[in-house]
Amino acid sequence: MNLRDIHTPVLLERCVELLAPALQRDGAVLVDATLGMGGHSEAFLERFPGIRLIGLDRDQDALRIAWERLAPFGDRVTLVHTVYDGIADAVSSTGLHSADGILFDLGVSSLQLDEADRGFAYAQDAPLDMRMDQSIGTTAADVLATYSEGQLRRIFERYGEEKLSGRYARAIIEARGQAPILRSGRLVEILQAATPHAVKGAGHPAKRVFQALRIEVNSELSVLERAIPAALGILPVGGRIVVMSYQSLEDRLVKRELADASASTAPAGLPVELPEHAPRFRLLVKGAELASPEEIARNPRATPVRLRAAERIREAA
Cα–Cα distance for residue pair 101/193, rounded to 1 Å: 48
How many residues are present in the chain? 317
- Mean pLDDT score of the chain, rounded to an integer? 91
Q: Is residue 114 a known part of a binding site?
A: no
- 8-state DSSP, 279: -
Domain 116-218, CATH homologous superfamily name and number: Putative methyltransferase TM0872, insert domain (1.10.150.170)
Q: Is the pTM of this model over 0.85?
A: yes
Residue 40 marked ligand-binding: yes
Closest CA to 156 of 118, 194, 102, 104: 194
Is pLDDT of 6 > 60?
no
Q: Is 107 annotated as a binding residue?
A: no
Can you spell out the DSSP letters for 152-208?
HHHHHHHHH--TTHHHHHHHHHHHHHHS---BHHHHHHHHHHHS-GGGTTSS-TTHH
101 in a labelled binding site: no
What band does 317 get if pLDDT is binned at 50, 70 and 90? low
Q: What is the pLDDT of residue 199?
A: 81
Nearest-angstrom CA–CA distance, 147 and 152: 6
Q: Does 39 show up as a binding residue in the annotation? A: yes
Question: Bigger pLDDT: 99 or 264?
Answer: 99
Where do the domains of the chain lie? 3-105+220-312, 116-218
| Burial of 32 per CB tally in 10 Å (0-12, 13-18, 19+) | buried
Is 134 labelled a binding residue? no
Using one digit for the tens of pLDDT, what is the confidence trace for 54-112?
Answer: 999 999 999 999 999 999 999 999 999 999 999 999 999 999 999 999 999 998 766 65
| Arithmetic mean of pLDDT, 276-291 | 92
- Checking 256-262 for CB contacts under 8 A at 24+ apart, the result is 257/225, 257/228, 257/229, 257/232, 258/228, 258/283, 258/308, 258/310, 259/283, 261/232, 261/310, 262/310
Dump pLDDT digits (tens) for 197-237. Answer: 888 777 788 899 999 999 999 999 999 999 999 999 999 99
3-105+220-312: CATH topology is: Rossmann fold (3.40.50)
Tell whether 147 is in a known binding site.
no
